[in-house]
């Protein structure tokens, strides 16, 4: 049967964000069994992959229990894309074939998502944050520099980025403590030590490295997809007042590294294959090592909620620089990427004011407060606010969801 028309016998899964076409990878535990282990997901069920392996439903020579009874996905990813593809294909066969729907030993590998805790699935090595949305870079340039020259001269020639910090990347659901630091309350005055008064989020999509390159060997753009094992939704929490004072001349530091949140599921490129789309026109034409393919972007809808009020609808298709261009540029100098490294896109803003991916832009530097459903307003985030981001791709046959990327400010 045609892949996009495939259905699963797992009840409720076909219309959910986790149909048979998705099958993301994650790490879970339950109350009864606190050991972290590798899983996939279908509908409202976690698929316990180590149990599935123990029950001999998986038949892949290179996959052993140690890859699945593991608190991170890195060892499984290290086996290579052929192995993850084979794993995915065997899951598709197991859960689409009606004949399997009565197998007790298979059904016991499905655990209700409500009984599971999901954990940070990747042991993240290095983390890089790009700045790849033209709309976001333009908005920030207008607010902080010069409306006539909003983009810096390098911006249309290369995907700008900085090296962030992996230690403070946490999984969805982790509470976020408001950071303190140096802030300047009135321009021209001396800084004070204070809690941040301008706490913000940044709506981003991140990709994970699944194949290494040797130091000194750039990853050519046409091979870049081989090195990427999947996507995760990402919130790059930002303290704008700390950032504004500290960033000159070396860039973001303590305004960024106190916390970032990722969604719990690694969504494969195969699950998103049907959602490739054209990127924005690139003029001037980038140098040849960044040579863009036509279909280099993905059509993935993004939404942000503050305490259940939807405040933004954006899309990864707006990104000016594609993930392939980001990775080709990151390694053009010979920088070596390692399995589990994470690269985030930068805030993804669209052309409409309702598609801006940060409070800084949505409330335009505090000048246009956002009204929530309960009648209260926000220019930046308050203590107790819950920020939820979701992402999903959708066609006539199915939806691919990412799970939510959530955090409450304390
Ligand atoms: Mn960012």
DSSP 346-378: -----SSGGG-SSHHHHTTTTTSPEEPTTS-EE
Fold of 127-408: Fumarylacetoacetate hydrolase; domain 2 (3.90.850)
Distance 402 CA to ligand 1 centre (A): 19
Please tell me the predicted confidence (pLDDT) of residue 347.
98
Q: Is 34 exposed, middle or buried (0-12, 13-18, 19+ CB in 10 A)?
A: exposed
Q: Which of 136, 227, 329, 330 is catalytic?
A: 136
d(CA 85, CA 87): 5
Q: What is the pTM of this model?
A: 0.97
Return d(Cα 80, Cα 212) in angstroms, integer.
10
Write down the domain spans for the chain. 3-118, 127-408
What's the chain's average pLDDT? 97
Q: What is the pLDDT of residue 27?
A: 98
Alpha helices in 57-108 (DSSP H): 65-68, 74-78, 81-96, 104-107
How high is the pLDDT of residue 289? 97
Instruction: Report whether 381 contacts 245 (CB < 8 A).
Output: no
CA 193 / ligand 1 centre spacing (Å): 24
CATH domain 3-118 topology: SH3 type barrels. (2.30.30)
CA distance 179 to 255: 8
Mean pLDDT, consecutive 10-residue segments, the chain of 410 residues? 92 98 98 98 98 97 97 98 97 96 97 98 98 97 91 96 98 98 96 98 98 98 96 98 95 97 98 96 96 89 97 98 97 98 98 97 97 98 98 98 98
The answer to whether the beta carbons of residues 73 and 266 sit under 8 Å apart is: yes
Sign of torsion over alpha carbons 99, 101, 105, 109: positive
If you measure from the C-alpha of residue 223 to the centroid of ligand 1, how many angstroms do you get, rounded to a whole number? 26
d(CA 348, CA 135): 8
- The residue written with tokens 């998103």 in the block is 272
Distance CA 138, CA 349 (A): 10
Contact 100, 42 (CB under 8 A): no
> What is the whole-number distance in angstroms between the Cα of residue 235 and the centre of ligand 1?
8
Q: Measured in angstroms, how far is the CA atom of residue 93 from the centroid of ligand 1?
A: 39
Is 53 among the catalytic positions? no
Q: Give the pLDDT score at 61.
A: 94
**Other CB atoms within 10 Å distance of the CB of residue 117:** 14
In this prediction, residue 145 carries a pLDDT of 85
pLDDT at 144: 86
């Amino acid at each position: 049967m045609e892949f996009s028309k495939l259905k699963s016998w797992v009840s409720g899964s076909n219309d959910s964000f986790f149909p048979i076409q998705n099958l993301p990878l994650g790490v879970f535990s339950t109350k009864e069994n606190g050991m972290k282990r590798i899983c996939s997901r279908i509908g409202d069920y976690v698929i316990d992959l180590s149990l599935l392996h123990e029950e001999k439903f998986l038949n892949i020579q290179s996959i052993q229990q140690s890859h699945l009874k593991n608190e991170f996905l890195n060892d499984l990813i290290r086996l290579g894309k052929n192995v993850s593809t084979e794993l995915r294909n065997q899951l598709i066969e197991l859960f689409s074939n009606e004949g399997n729907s009565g197998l007790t030993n298979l059904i016991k590998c499905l655990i209700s998502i409500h009984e599971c805790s999901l954990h940070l699935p990747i042991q993240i090595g290095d983390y890089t944050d790009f700045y790849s949305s033209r709309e976001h870079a333009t908005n920030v340039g207008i607010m902080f520099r010069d409306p006539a020259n909003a983009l810096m001269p390098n911006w249309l020639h290369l995907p700008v980025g900085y090296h962030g910090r992996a230690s403070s990347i946490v999984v969805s659901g982790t509470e976020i403590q408001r950071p303190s630091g140096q802030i300047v309350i009135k321009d021209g005055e001396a800084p004070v030590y204070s809690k941040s008064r301008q706490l913000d989020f940044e709506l981003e999509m991140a990709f994970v490295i699944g194949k290494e390159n040797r130091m000194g060997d750039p990853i050519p753009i046409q091979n870049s997809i081989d090195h990427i094992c999947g996507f995760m939704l990402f919130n790059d929490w930002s303290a704008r007042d700390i950032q504004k004072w500290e960033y000159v001349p070396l860039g973001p530091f303590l305004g960024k590294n106190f916390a970032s949140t990722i969604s719990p599921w690694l969504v494969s490129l195969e699950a998103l294959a049907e959602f490739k789309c054209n990127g924005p026109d690139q003029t001037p034409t980038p140098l040849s090592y960044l040579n863009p393919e036509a279909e280099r972007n993905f059509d993935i809808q993004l939404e942000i909620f503050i305490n259940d009020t939807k405040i933004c609808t954006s899309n990864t298709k707006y990104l000016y620089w594609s993930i392939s261009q980001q990775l080709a540029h990151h390694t053009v100098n010979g920088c070596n990427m390692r399995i589990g490294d994470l690269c985030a896109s930068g805030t993804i803003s669209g052309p409409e004011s309702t598609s801006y991916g940060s409070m800084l832009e949505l409330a335009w530097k505090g000048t246009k407060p956002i009204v929530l459903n309960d009648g209260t307003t926000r220019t930046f985030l308050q203590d107790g606010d819950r920020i939820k981001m979701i992402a999903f791709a959708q066609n006539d046959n199915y939806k691919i969801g990412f799970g939510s990327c959530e955090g409450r400010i304390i």
